[in-house]
Homo-oligomer: A and B are copies of this chain.
């Protein structure tokens, strides 16, 4: 859980006990890896509602773990998500000058333009969208037209405008995915899910 000192480990252990108490019933039907991901999300947000609104496609865990073990590349929508992901394998293009130009020229958000830029650069791997519904819609559009290669998508944009709709759109695709239903989601949810998967892919405790 990111802890690297004995005090940190003790806090993580106690928290995990409390989380299991709070959400044990909600996650009883999930697979072991899915349950571990949800536990880490609730640990990170202190919000048990995530145990009721997090949804996985049945092929998500296997596809995401396979992607991490093979390519190891992770694309995030914004810098804040990138900064939270363990190690240095995650990339975000949102601050590149070329992305600002794409966004301004086509009147799309920088987050959506950054996904176009990643597709142009031939990105392939796990995609983690923690904030921008426009970025998630762009991922779906580019995967469907064959110009972006996503092994699996963590799609948890947050907000009252477009977030829920973008996640429902992802749910209707064939892409291996994890979403949170409704307006809630965001950076800590995206980061918790990605870091849980990284730990699982390396055979570490989540």
Q: Give residues in A with beta carbon < 8 Å to B.
A: 3-8, 11, 14-15, 18-19, 43-47, 79-80, 82-84, 100, 103-104, 107-110, 112, 133-134, 158-163, 182-188, 191
Chain B residue nearest to A92 (CB atoms) is: B83
Q: A160–B18 contact, CB under 8 A?
A: yes
3 nearest A-B residue pairs (beta carbon): A83-B83, A46-B183, A80-B84
A22 nearest in chain B by CB position: B160
Distance between Cα atoms of A134 and B84 in the complex (Å): 19
Main secondary structure of the interface of A (DSSP, over half): helix
Query: Closest Cβ of chain B: how far from A45's Cβ, in Å?
Result: 6
Whole-angstrom distance from the CB of A141 to the nearest CB of chain B? 14
Known: A83-B83, A187-B187. A108 touches B163 (CB 8 A): no
B184 pairs with A47, CB closer than 8 A: yes
Task: Kindly list chain B residues whose C-beta atoms are within 8 Å of the C-beta of A46.
Answer: 158-160, 163, 182-186
Most buried by B among A44, A79, A187: A187
Q: Which of A19, A44, A184, A186 has the largest count of B CB atoms less than 10 A from its CB? A: A186
Using A15-B159, A187-B187 as known contacts, list a sample of 14 further A-B pairs with CB atoms less than 8 Å apart, ordered by residue number in A. A3-B109, A6-B107, A8-B109, A11-B134, A19-B160, A43-B159, A44-B158, A44-B159, A45-B158, A46-B160, A46-B183, A46-B185, A80-B187, A158-B188
In the assembled complex, the CB of A2 is this many whole angstroms from the nearest CB of chain B, namely: 9
The answer to whether A15 and B186 have CB atoms under 8 Å apart is no
